[in-house]
Chains A and B, each alone.
Chain A
Amino acid sequence: MTINPRRNLANRCNALKSSGPRSVAGKRASSQNSRKHGLSSAPDFESSIEYQALVDLIAEEGFSVFACADIASSLLNYRRVMDAYHNTYASPEPVDEFLRDANVKASNPIFSELLSPSGSEPADVREMAAFFASMQRQERRKGGPVSRRTTDTHKLIRYQRNGIARLSRAIRQS
């Protein structure tokens, strides 16, 4: 496939227009992206107590120094992924039962009372009911606790795949 310079330039210009969040709130939100499970950050295993102990243990089995270091860090990395997998599975996002089970239609009088105690302003009430209904739809779409934990752990599949492939490669190539 040939590279068209004009197309390439246009792509680069377009990329500049959409390169990440611009607002303060957006930047703050995206800065927390890797904090959910911490698996995207590069770990420092070499300075841990476990790493040195593992290297010594593996060295007893006749592996070279480099192989020992590779296997130890791969094994620790795999454990890190599996621990995050377990934590994600064991503590899914809680279900907001009030929001999920609330009857939006029956709540209209409450909305109108909250918004305009003196007189009715149907547009505002409708807007609030619509907003409440959309939040309820979102909550219901997420499902119960089992659906939530399934969705969350499913996101970690690629980390597990990479972790075990790295460990297996380190052992078999040594």
Chain B
Amino acid sequence: MLYNVHFGIYVDVAMPVEDKSKSLLPFLLSPKLLPDESEAEFQSGLQSLLSELDNPSPLAVALVSQLNECLWWIKRHTVDKELLLHEAMARLLSKAGSYGGTYDNRKVSEALERYLDGRADKDEAEWIDEILAESKLTLSDLRIRAFKDAAKHIKMVDDLIHRQHQTIRHLQRSIDSIDYKSRLIKRMDLELAALESKQSLKGALSLDDKSS
């Protein structure tokens, strides 16, 4: 059976899992990715989750796609924790200018990023070393102070990650409930069919008895 779910997208209930998920994607999944994120990676995560289910219903597919999105958010927020630390380190370094002046925050941030990745050229590395020396800090001291400065925001990111975990738990329970319901319906259908066949057999036997 076909359903027009969203702007001409059709879902066939009897179609294989992968096709079902593809048809539902524009509607319930609609992966809203950031410019630097890979859609292929997102889709492969979804497919691996779907492959763990045994012939899932469209509603289960929709819930699994929400679950995949939660996992994606956890990844994003985990990266954010490191970015917050970097932001705080750059802020501390840019404040280290002499005579109350400050360094250009953006320049410091970019140079620090390359310095930490080991991609900085000689001048940049010397500049960062100079600022560190000026502020009387080592790189690990700077990281500790930055962690202290960004603690409030890092706690917020932890809350966001925790929320995603809770959401995943809710979704898992919902998927289990749908799965159990469909198994129950199948079992009842089988029992009903068995009863009906028994009944028809009994009817046939009683007819035979009467005729004999």
- Taking beta carbons and an 8 Å cutoff, which residues of A are in contact with B? 49-50, 53-54, 56-58, 60-62, 71, 75, 78-79, 82-83, 86, 89-90, 97, 100-101, 103, 105-106, 143-147, 149-151, 153-154, 157, 160-161, 164-165, 167-168, 171-172
Residues of A within 8 A of B59 (CB): 57-58, 61, 71, 171
Residues of A within 8 A of B94 (CB): 101
- Taking beta carbons and an 8 Å cutoff, which residues of B are in contact with A? 1, 3-6, 11, 13, 27-28, 32, 34, 57-59, 62-63, 66, 69, 76, 80, 83-84, 87, 90-91, 94, 100-102, 104-106, 150, 153, 156-157, 159-160, 163, 166-167, 170-171, 173-174, 177-178, 181-182, 185
Residues of A within 8 A of B90 (CB): 144
Give the distance in Å from the alpha carbon of A53 to the alpha carbon of B177 in the complex.
22
Q: A60-B1, A79-B28 are in contact. Are A100 and B105 (CB under 8 A)?
A: yes
Do B5 and A150 touch (CB < 8 A)? no
Residues of B within 8 A of A90 (CB): 32, 34
Residues of A within 8 A of B157 (CB): 150
Residues of A within 8 A of B32 (CB): 83, 86, 90
7 pairs across A/B with beta carbons < 8 Å? Answer: A62-B185, A90-B32, A106-B101, A144-B90, A150-B156, A164-B167, A172-B177
Give the distance in Å from the alpha carbon of A35 to the alpha carbon of B153 in the complex.
25
Which 4 pairs, one residue from A and one from B, show the smallest C-beta to C-beta distance?
A168-B170, A144-B87, A171-B174, A146-B83
Give the distance in Å from the alpha carbon of A41 to the alpha carbon of B206 in the complex.
67
Residues of A within 8 A of B63 (CB): 171
Give the distance in Å from the alpha carbon of A2 to the alpha carbon of B59 in the complex.
50
Residues of B within 8 A of A146 (CB): 80, 83-84, 87, 153
Q: A53-B6, A79-B28, A150-B84 are in contact. Are A61 and B69 (CB under 8 A)?
A: no
Give the distance in Å from the alpha carbon of A167 to the alpha carbon of B67 in the complex.
13
Determine the residue in chain A with the shortest Cβ distance to B32. Answer: A86
Do B87 and A101 touch (CB < 8 A)? no
Residues of A within 8 A of B166 (CB): 161, 164
Give the distance in Å from the alpha carbon of A105 to the alpha carbon of B11 in the complex.
65
Q: Which of A79, A106, A164 has the most CB of B within 10 A?
A: A164
- Shortest distance from the beta carbon of A15 to any chain B beta carbon, whole Å: 32
Do A50 and B84 touch (CB < 8 A)? no
Do B153 and A151 touch (CB < 8 A)? yes
Give the distance in Å from the alpha carbon of A171 to the alpha carbon of B171 in the complex.
10
Residues of B within 8 A of A60 (CB): 1, 13, 57-58
Give the distance in Å from the alpha carbon of A86 to the alpha carbon of B69 in the complex.
11
Cβ contact of A57, chosen from B58, B91, B156, cutoff 8 A: B58
